[in-house]
A = this chain, B = another copy of it.
Amino acid sequence: MRGAVLYAPGDVRVEERENPAIIAPTDAIIRVSATCVCGSDLWDYRGVNEVTQPTPAGHEYVGVVTEIGDEVKNIGVGDFVVGSFFASDNTCEICEAGYQSRCAHAEFVGAGGAQAEYLRVPLADGTLVATPGMPDDDLIPSLLAASDVLGTGWFGAVAAEAGPGKTVAVVGDGAVGLLAVLAAKQLGAERIIAMSRHASRQKLAREFGATDIVEERGDEGVARIKELTGGYGAHSVIEAVGTQESMMQAIRSARPGGHVGYVGVAHGVELPGEEVFFAEVHLHGGPAPVRRFLPELVQLIWDREIDPGKVFDLTLPLDEAAEGFKAMDERRAIKTLLKP
């Protein structure tokens, strides 16, 4: 099969790879209908994370099940499925509490490389969610978004306790930040402030439900949020970048007693204990337990109540994955969908 492999920073190649096979009786194999490039893939692509060997790329996927292991019960061959980037048994105490990304038996699905024609998904019963039927083509981008960026933005909004009566600020205007805006809107937030200085992203943020745009960053951004919230700060802040600056911007934008939901994968972040202590905010985040939200998100998409697929502003054949990475790296594209 064809599959994308990251050889070194800036060096993505689509090449012939071995087809995946069932290894454990809880596995499923899917034929990938659509996959994409994640903002978190750029940490590797930019050399922030070390790439020590050629690594299959991608961890977001939707597709049709072609084979299942003997113990798979809930998913059948022919099902159209959406899954999280972390495989989970969905039965352990951690999963039952809604933290499937930290399942006692969690495995990174992306280890197999989802930017490919086929993908092995471990713990299929606990990881995959089947759609009610074969989706129309136009639903596929949104279903694909559910497998990570929508689920991650949603978790950020839930972790930040976005909801009725709340003013929510979103730090980061990548796909996750934009979908955190959508999530905050769905969760009933009263006011949603998107922090963005890119016209096209501001526009999408407004489509997704942003009521205000703040272009300033850092201390100036914090000051603007305070101005907009009677001096108190936002009730809820969603952090969707993962840098020191963005984390501090998020913490400082929240009011005492407010909630910061952080879903940008932390890189080089050190939180100053004393400032965090006196900030007196709630902090919660991490790799999103997308599986917790998938049934609800799939239904919302199926019913065409949300259209998170709008974050894909570039669609390419899988063979052009390298250009897909490049366009995102250069911020020419918000998010690239790849068609195997």
A276 interfacial by beta-carbon distance below 8 Å: yes
Q: Out of B102, B256, B282, which one reaches A256, CB within 8 Å?
A: B102
**Contact of B94 with A257 in the complex, beta carbons under 8 Å:** yes
A283 at the interface (CB under 8 A from B): yes
Give Cα A6–Cα B232 distance, bound, in whole angstroms.
Answer: 34
Q: Which of B256, B268, B272 contacts A270 (CB 8 A)?
A: B272
Which of chain B's residues have a CB closer than 8 A to the CB of A282?
282-284
A104 CB-CB contact with B under 8 Å = yes
A277 to B272, CA, bound (A): 15
In the complex, whether A85 has a CB less than 8 A from a CB of chain B is no
Are B257 and A98 within 8 A (Cβ)? Answer: yes
Chain B hits for A274, CB < 8 A: 266-267, 269
In the assembled complex, A99 has its CB within 8 A of some CB on chain B: yes
User: A93-B230, A93-B232, A232-B104 given as contacts; is B280 within 8 A of A269 (CB)?
Assistant: no
Nearest B residue to A98 via CB reads B257
Residue A133, interface by CB 8 Å: no
Q: How many copies does the complex hold?
A: 2
* Cβ of A266 to closest chain B Cβ, rounded Å: 4
Q: Which residue in chain B gives the minimum CB-CB distance to A263?
A: B277
Inter-subunit contact A280/B286 (CB<8 Å)? yes
Give A23 to B230 CA distance when docked, in angstroms: 28
Residues of B within 8 A of A94 (CB): 232, 255-257
Whole-angstrom distance from the CB of A253 to the nearest CB of chain B?
15
Q: Bound state CA distance, A214 and B276, in angstroms? A: 28
Q: Bound complex: CA of A39 vs CA of B101, how far in Å? A: 39
A8, CB-defined interface residue at 8 Å: no
Flag whether A279 is at the interface (Cβ < 8 A): yes
Minimal Cβ-Cβ distance residue in B for A268: B273
A-B contact pairs, 10 of them (CB 8 A): A94-B257, A97-B257, A99-B280, A257-B289, A266-B273, A266-B274, A270-B271, A277-B285, A282-B282, A282-B284
Query: What residues make up the interface of A, taking CB atoms closer than 8 Å to B?
Result: 93-94, 97-99, 101-102, 104, 230-232, 242, 244, 247, 255-257, 262, 265-274, 276-287, 289
Closest 4 CB pairs of A and B: A269-B273, A102-B256, A280-B286, A266-B273
